């Protein structure tokens, strides 16, 4: 007889209620790329019930039947229909004032009408992003979960779905915890919920799970390598076609994996000429498609070379943050970000501090913008915790698996401003190594700290990086801009440095001559002073202003800030440009 049957109050004393679910987390290895295949959107109204104390897991809300309240034999604490109707995707923080700062779990429920298609068809739930972790239940049965607040996951529903109506429940939880990535302290807003698309993907019994195709680095732009991974360890072959390159080739597949290198001389992708090629890979009944740009990014000494030509990355950082959408991005919001980057004269965006929506790199591919994509190994992390490393590495590998074919992404950032300890060094060197193993075609970077004793750019992590990121705020947090010159004079990094952040707060409309903090005038002067040093330092090969838009941060509570970090070149309305925007645009034009 079960514990509950003996003691109906057992759940009150059971703190092991969440044990076992983590074993059902899916990872990058099981991620299914969309591959241009049709999906059924599950966007729209879902019932949502907040669950601050994890009652849903303690009392197994997911296992309760649909008996109407009038016929309950015993009282309950959960009733699906009593939940609020909310739109998915969305951040719960912005749906009701009383939910603004909610940090806990929430139960999303909707009906899923299932009619199986061709025999052997498989069904996958594709969740593009939920912060921070999620558990999925179909008809009361746990089918899997995921952790990582900004990366996608694929959960197979095939065995759990019944013909006709099914109850689909997703528990999302956004608590900040010391063992998570990021940890519980960061300078952005902790949104929660199913904030990106939730879709159903139907696939044949054996399908293409992931595929990668790129120029072979160092091949003189004349060789393309591709890998294809199937859903199952079967032998056979796939056919890749790139019609515009006259490529049609068979790829031998052994135990579910195939590799092929073929000669080709594609028109190279670049910001000036963002050429994309239609690529198709067929295996059995499955067709995978993508539009891929072929380019080479590498470093040589202290320069960064794109297709063999030195480049300077002139740009800005940007958060996923919106006054009405929160962390949810839609296409209009993303296209506005890229338009503003263009108006700034930028060729580069740093997607801070976590994987952004998949559409950002897809549009950047079309528009010809270079991107630094990163995982939120941010400030303090529980660097000695193996589970925390596994979480960070999985977020990195999910980002790489999702965006591996995006020409616009030129570097993977493995961390930001992390104090140097032996545990941090091992953790981040491990991530850098893993990034290169997963993707030898891109650079690896991190925003490093400077050596304060020597006041120089020195970080042993740099031995594992291709590009050293430096966040510097000389003229803001450290008043004396001369310290930037001192840092440059003391440093000889031996590899390219990108100023991965530099900026000053400004409240729009607050003006003043000289170093008036939070004034538009000082923010503008700040960039003139930065560029005067950066432009004449040969080993600085990029600069990302911090940042494009003001964004929510609860750490910021002065009268100038009122819950926003105001280093944006544009206010949080994403319309009002501050004086610094035009000044920096001019500086970039002159730098070009
Ligand atoms: C740091 C940090 C950012 C933060 C910024 C600031 O460099 O990386 O995430 O928002 O400083 O203080 O504005």
Q: What is the DSSP letter of 478?
A: B
For 20-83, the three-class secondary structure string (H helix, E strand, C coil) is: CCHHHECCHHHCCCCCCCCEEECCEEEEEEEECCCHHHHCCHHHCCCCCHHHCCCCCCCCHHHC
Determine if ligand 1 sits within 6 Å of the CB of residue 416.
Answer: yes
Q: What is the DSSP letter of 13?
A: G
Distance 235 CA to ligand 1 centre (A): 49
The total of structural domains in the chain comes to 3
354 within some domain: yes
Are residue 330 and residue 257 in the same domain, yes or no? Answer: no
The answer to whether 566 touches 550, Cβ cutoff 8 Å, is yes
- Indicate the residue among 295, 323, 338 that finishes a domain: 295
Cβ neighbours around 399 below 10 Å, total: 29
In terms of Cα–Cα distance, which of 186, 182, 234, 189 is closest to 208? 234
Distance 291 CA to ligand 1 centre (A): 34
Give the residue whose CA is nearest to atom 1 of ligand 1. 471
Q: What are the pLDDT digits (tens) for 391-401?
A: 999 999 999 99
Are residue 68 and residue 212 in the same domain, yes or no? Answer: no
User: Which backbone phi and psi does 19 adopt, to 5 degrees?
Assistant: -55, 140
Distance 187 CA to ligand 1 centre (A): 6
Q: What is the DSSP letter of 462?
A: G
Q: What are the pLDDT digits (tens) for 51-77?
A: 999 999 999 999 999 999 999 999 999
Is residue 255 left, alpha or beta, with left meaning phi > 0 and alpha meaning psi from -120 to 50? Answer: left
The order of strands in the sheet holding 236-242 is 247-253, 236-242, 277-283, 286-292
Pairing label, strands 409-416, 443-448: parallel
Report CA-CA distances (Å) from 506 to 215, 221, 502, 526: 43, 45, 13, 11
Are residue 374 and residue 483 in the same domain, yes or no? Answer: yes
The CATH number covering residue 498 comes to 3.20.20.80
3 within some domain: no
In terms of Cα–Cα distance, which of 351, 344, 356, 355 is closest to 317? 351
For 365-411, the three-class secondary structure string (H helix, E strand, C coil) is: HHHCCEEEEECCCECCCCCCCHHHHHHHHHHHHHHHHHHCCCCCEEE
Give the largest CA-CA distance in the chain. Answer: 78
339 within some domain: yes
Determine if ligand 1 sits within 6 Å of the CB of residue 350.
Answer: no
Are residue 390 and residue 270 in the same domain, yes or no? Answer: no
Q: What percent of the chain has pLDDT over 70?
A: 99
Q: What are the pLDDT digits (tens) for 98-131?
A: 999 999 999 999 999 999 888 889 999 999 999 9
Q: What are the pLDDT digits (tens) for 153-174?
A: 999 999 999 999 999 999 999 9
Are residue 279 and residue 326 in the same domain, yes or no? Answer: no
Ligand 1 pocket mutation, candidates 504, 546, 547, criterion most atoms within 8 A of CB: 546
Banded pLDDT at 2 (limits 50, 70, 90): low
Are residue 287 and residue 395 in the same domain, yes or no? Answer: no
The answer to whether 309 touches 296, Cβ cutoff 8 Å, is no
Contacting residues for 548 by C-beta, under 8 A, at least 6 apart: 316, 317, 318, 337, 340, 341, 344, 349, 568, 569, 570
Full DSSP string of 196-213: S-EEEEEE-SS-EEEEEE
Q: Supply 19's token pair.
A: 């044990």
Are residue 198 and residue 215 in the same domain, yes or no? Answer: no
Are residue 261 and residue 325 in the same domain, yes or no? Answer: no
Q: What are the pLDDT digits (tens) for 17-44?
A: 999 999 999 999 999 999 999 999 999 9
The CATH number covering residue 179 comes to 2.60.120.260
Determine if ligand 1 sits within 6 Å of the CB of residue 321.
Answer: no
Determine if ligand 1 sits within 6 Å of the CB of residue 187.
Answer: yes
pLDDT of residue 7: 85
Q: Which residue has the tokens 């004396």?
A: 480
Are residue 328 and residue 450 in the same domain, yes or no? Answer: yes
Cβ neighbours around 478 below 10 Å, total: 11
Distance 547 CA to ligand 1 centre (A): 9
pLDDT of residue 119: 84
Give the residue whose CA is nearest to atom 3 of ligand 1. 187
Are residue 431 and residue 563 in the same domain, yes or no? Answer: yes
The answer to whether 439 touches 471, Cβ cutoff 8 Å, is no
pLDDT of residue 311: 97
4-13, 211-220, 319-328, 568-577: range with lowest mean pLDDT? 4-13
Ligand 1 pocket mutation, candidates 446, 450, 501, criterion most atoms within 8 A of CB: 501
Distance 585 CA to ligand 1 centre (A): 22
Q: Which residues pair with 315 in a beta bridge?
A: 348, 544
303 within some domain: no
Atom of ligand 1 nearest to the CA of 503: 13
Give the residue whose CA is nearest to atom 2 of ligand 1. 187
- Indicate the residue among 177, 203, 229 that finishes a domain: 203
Are residue 62 and residue 130 in the same domain, yes or no? Answer: yes
What is the span of the domain harbouring residue 214?
Answer: 208-295
Helix (H) or strand (E) run with residue 432 in it: helix 422-438
176 within some domain: yes
221 within some domain: yes
Ligand 1 pocket mutation, candidates 187, 478, 504, criterion most atoms within 8 A of CB: 187
Handedness of CA 80, 45, 168, 325 (dihedral sign): negative
Q: What are the pLDDT digits (tens) for 511-553?
A: 999 899 999 999 999 999 999 999 999 999 999 999 999 999 9
Q: Alpha-carbon distance 550 to 304, whole Å?
A: 30
Are residue 183 and residue 235 in the same domain, yes or no? Answer: no
Q: Which residues pair with 207 in a beta bridge?
A: none
- Indicate the residue among 170, 203, 236 that finishes a domain: 203
Q: Alpha-carbon distance 293 to 309, whole Å?
A: 17
Count the residues in the chain: 592
116-125, 173-182, 384-393, 432-441: range with lowest mean pLDDT? 116-125
Q: What percent of the chain has pLDDT over 90?
A: 96
Determine if ligand 1 sits within 6 Å of the CB of residue 565.
Answer: yes
301 within some domain: no
| Per-residue pLDDT at 334 exceeds 90 | yes
pLDDT of residue 3: 63
Q: Supply 34's token pair.
A: 């969309």
pLDDT of residue 5: 67
The answer to whether 37 touches 287, Cβ cutoff 8 Å, is yes
583 within some domain: yes
Q: What are the pLDDT digits (tens) for 569-591?
A: 999 999 999 999 999 999 999 98
In terms of Cα–Cα distance, which of 317, 316, 298 is closest to 308? 298
User: Mean per-residue pLDDT for 336-351?
Assistant: 98
């Amino acid at each position: 007889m079960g514990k509950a049957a003996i003691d109906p109050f057992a759940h009150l004393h059971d703190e092991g209620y969440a044990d076992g679910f983590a074993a059902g987390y899916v990872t990058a290895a099981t991620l299914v790329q969309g591959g241009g295949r049709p999906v059924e959107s599950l966007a729209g109204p879902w019932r949502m019930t907040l669950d601050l104390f994890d009652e849903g897991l303690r009392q197994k809300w997911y296992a309760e039947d649909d008996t109407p309240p009038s016929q309950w034999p015993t009282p309950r604490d959960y009733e699906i229909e009593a939940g609020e109707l909310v739109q998915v995707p969305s951040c719960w923080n912005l749906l009701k004032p009383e939910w603004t700062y909610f940090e806990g779990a929430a139960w999303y429920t909707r009906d899923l009408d299932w009619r199986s298609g061709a025999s052997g068809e498989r069904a996958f739930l594709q969740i593009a992003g939920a912060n921070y972790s999620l558990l999925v239940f179909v008809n009361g049965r746990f089918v899997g979960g995921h952790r990582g607040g900004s990366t996608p996951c694929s959960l197979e529903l095939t065995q759990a779905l019944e013909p006709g109506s099914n109850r689909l429940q997703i528990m999302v939880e956004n608590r900040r915890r010391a063992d998570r990535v990021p940890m519980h302290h960061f300078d952005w807003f902790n949104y929660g919920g199913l904030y990106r698309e939730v879709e159903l993907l139907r696939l044949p019994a054996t399908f293409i799970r992931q595929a990668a195709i790129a120029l072979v680095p160092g091949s003189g732009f004349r060789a393309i390598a591709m890998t294809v991974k199937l859903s199952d360890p079967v032998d056979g072959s796939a056919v890749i076609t790139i019609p515009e390159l006259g490529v049609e080739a068979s790829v031998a597949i052994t135990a579910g994996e195939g590799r092929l290198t073929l000669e080709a001389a594609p028109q190279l992708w670049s910001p000036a000429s963002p050429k994309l090629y239609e690529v198709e890979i067929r295996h059995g009944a499955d067709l995978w498609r993508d539009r891929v740009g072929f380019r080479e990014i590498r470093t040589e000494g202290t320069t960064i070379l794109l297709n063999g030509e030195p480049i300077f990355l002139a740009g800005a950082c940007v958060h996923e943050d919106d006054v009405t959408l929160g962390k949810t991005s839609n296409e209009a919001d993303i296209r506005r970000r890229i338009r503003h980057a263009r108006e700034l004269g930028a060729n580069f965006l740093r997607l801070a501090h976590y994987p952004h929506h998949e559409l950002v790199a897809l549009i950047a591919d079309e528009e010809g913008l270079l991107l630094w994509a990163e995982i939120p190994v941010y400030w303090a992390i529980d660097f000695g915790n193996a589970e925390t490393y596994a979480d960070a590495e999985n977020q990195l590998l999910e980002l790489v698996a999702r965006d591996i074919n995006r020409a616009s992404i030129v570097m993977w950032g493995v961390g930001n401003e992390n104090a140097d300890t032996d545990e941090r060094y091992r953790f981040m060197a491990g991530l850098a190594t893993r990034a290169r193993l997963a993707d030898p075609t891109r650079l690896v970077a991190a925003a490093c700290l400077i050596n304060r004793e020597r006041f120089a750019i020195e970080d042993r992590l740099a031995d594992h990086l291709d590009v050293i990121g430096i966040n510097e705020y000389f003229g803001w947090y450290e008043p004396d801009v001369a310290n930037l010159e001192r840092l440059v004079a003391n440093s000889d990094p031996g590899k390219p440095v990108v100023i991965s952040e530099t900026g000053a707060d400004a409240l729009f409309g607050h003006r003043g001559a000289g170093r008036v903090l939070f004034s538009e005038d000082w923010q503008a002067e700040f960039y003139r002073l930065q560029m005067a040093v950066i432009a004449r330092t040969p080993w600085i090969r990029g600069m990302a202003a911090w940042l494009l838009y003001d964004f929510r941060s609860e750490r910021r509570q002065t009268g100038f800030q009122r819950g926003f970090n105001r280093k944006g070149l544009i206010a949080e309305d994403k319309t009002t440009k501050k004086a610094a925007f035009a000044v920096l645009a001019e500086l970039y034009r002159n730098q070009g």
